[in-house]
Structure 1
């Protein structure tokens, strides 16, 4: 029994020795020897201390506000902005002088020569002036729109003077016809366009007429006439019913340096006319030109409104001129228009347009007889300076020809 126990103990000791050797061998393989180095010890972070245990803060010198140097402000660099192109102002034109302008434009009356001047000279040059010839002379005058009464007067005077004259040379006939036509047209009218009010206000000119007579264009051309004569002008665009009428008038004004007073399309014409005169007074202008709407003479309401424009403008002072623009090609219908306008406003002068495009130069005589006021200006072309002060002598010379 004792031998058995001793054998077991010896066996256990042997097994333990063997196990120790195996474990020692494994540890040497997994943990190879490392070179010796200085160990790094990381201290735990210091905990903040408060109260009596807190460390006192070291005193540092403080700067005053004057000692503080602030960094210089630098302006932000902006990208250059392209400036919009400003349209160049229109060049100011120098209108053609008005003195003798009708003489320079006499060639434009060539069409009127054929009917009136040359026609009469041809008939009067016949060897025998019988009744048939005198009827032809009378018919020529009527076709030229001289009018019935003026035609009868002229024919009677020509009859008497031809009898007294006896022998009729071409030079005698031309002198005779020129004298009689001048008498018919009239040389004693004051045909100057009045531009001085006699007060501390500008001269005020109102331009009236029906649609299609070239009224706005005539107003612009009249501004050129006045500027050419040394007057400063303000334009009033009181034609608010026709599209682009104000633009058209402003373009005419800019060409000669005249300012245009305008309002909204469809605005009150009387208000714009009033403002135009007011601006003219403020600027010290010599003349205010007011372009009114082209009104059909059959529209009573519109004609009444024209009278309103006149009354409103006269609150600043009297109107110096009311010019009626007539189309010379309308003939006797133009006289009907003239009569209606004369009933509404006091017409002081006539502007005959398109006289170069008609063979009816006698309308000058007829319209003056109808209204008792002179033709002051005539339009003889489409050019900007083709509006000329009316000169009876130059007109008759152009009608008769050389």
Structure 2
């Protein structure tokens, strides 16, 4: 299908009842939207001091802003993302983005502590539109293109996470912390209009049940879909390792001998762009039936990445190399996970994504808590040992799964 014919279908009111060959332009639009949406979750981290001074909040309490956003995001995974299997997915995406605009404006105008916290919960709640967009990209693509489509959109998510802190700090330096959320609101509104014009209407299989039954079915998917359980464990472990690094890395870099500023430390996130570039490639490997092999190689690379990372206190170049290796490995496994899960049940893609991302949330939270405790107990060496141990556990789990599959495979 040519790009011109696809664009004509994208703007036409007719309903499409079979997967399209997802055009590069629409993939790019979905990827950009994901980057902008997920960035809303991370904008606040470098702005906490400014928020505390503006609202006269004690510095020790302002961290609750980040917690409130994560609470909203976790609730959205369970309560909103599954709706993609019950309601029209395009309408759900547009509605979430418009509510996100309202929430971002509320944050920017917040004059009271309670209002700010409530608005940040809504920001997190609406940010789960990225998971609906992942499911949307998978449903728009033909089966042999699905992994590549998921990889492209996931690449946008990675870019949003990595660039959010840098962008918010830059805008805040120029116009104050409130401007960050006003600018984001304007961008989200613009993308909502673009998506309204470009996403085609799809007559997808939808769950024939009530909302309550839909939520209950999410739990049943854990029981009925072994690929969700296996890939969920991978997600929990790899994002625990990811969080171990990114939560604690600021501690040795801000201490002597480096004594880097927060802005300088934030630039290390740009090294993780390699992961975003790798995401699309991993999706293509999954489309070619190489998902298991990709997972094994990536997890081995994840284990090895902790060797150069361990030299962070003496070599910044080694740290950059380790960050590139780790982010490449994590995103390769993450894209492979989603590609395999979404292919398992086309009729339950939104619920599968929501359920899978719960493992991501748990792993990220556990990794963050464990990393700070390990640094307090044994310094950077203890943190690296923890990260390497979690990464090794992930590879051993893959090896066990792989051995079990080969043993059960028919001979000859």
Is the TM-score greater than 0.5?
A: no
Length-normalised TM-score, structure 1: 0.20
**Larger Rg, first or second structure (1 or 2):** 1
Task: Return the structure number with greater strand share.
Answer: 1
